[in-house]
A and B are shown apart, each in its own frame.
Chain A
């Protein structure tokens, strides 16, 4: 099973600032089979980006990803109030899908 470790656990920033979230895999995620989700309390998770770089429908271009192999980064260029949530990375390159533990992005 591929273990995903996200850092930091919590990130405190202000609207307008840049957010950088990290996701590290215990082994290489084949062909960039990594997705990112945004999760707000009481709501279903929302797909942001898949295949390591393809934004889902309706996701603004302030969300971007980089990385390959075992190290991936989600960047939010300028935080909007609605961006404060928990973010999960997910790998689907192996038989058993796994999620990271999440990074909580909170308003400073």
Chain B
């Protein structure tokens, strides 16, 4: 069965970077894109970007002004999301999710979420 298992919670200081991992299993990793979506406390879900290891395509939300990078390790079937220059507003639960078709559409399987707290 499809599973996405994310890394554990992190506490970071403002200005630092955070990396969240997403280990995929139960399907052919290169055939599907992985999205990253976050939810800050009391806020709506916010799409951050997606990447497809098979096609090499990546797309990022404009809202992060180049601070987010998604990388795909096909040998480890793991996706990574790096967020730099952290601010307190980046405190959120970060989710990885599989794209149902591999090219930036909706998400059919989700990871359990990773809490990132940004605090001095």
Contacts and interface: CB of A to CB of B under 8 A. Distances in A.
Interface in B86-117: 95, 97, 100, 104-108, 110-113
B116 to A, nearest CB: 16
Given A44-B111, A45-B95, A99 B104 contact: no
B74 interface: no
Contacts, number: 57
Contacts of A35: 106-107
Contacts of A96: 47, 59, 61-62
A29 B110 CA distance: 24
Contact of B106 (A1, A44, A50): A50
Interface residues of A, number: 22
Contacts of B9: none
A75 to B, nearest CB: 19
Contacts of B113: 44
Contacts of A88: 44-45
A47 B106 contact: yes
B82 interface: no
- Residue of A1, A45, A95, A97 with most chain B CB atoms under a 10 A cut-off: A97
Contacts of B47: 90, 96-99
5 contacts: A44-B110, A50-B106, A88-B45, A97-B35, A99-B37
A100 B45 CA distance: 8
B59 A95 contact: yes
A57 to B, nearest CB: 8
Interface string A24-47: 000000000101010100001111
Contact of B44 (A56, A97, A99): A99
A80 to B, nearest CB: 22
A102 B61 CA distance: 20
A39 B59 contact: no
A35 B105 CA distance: 9
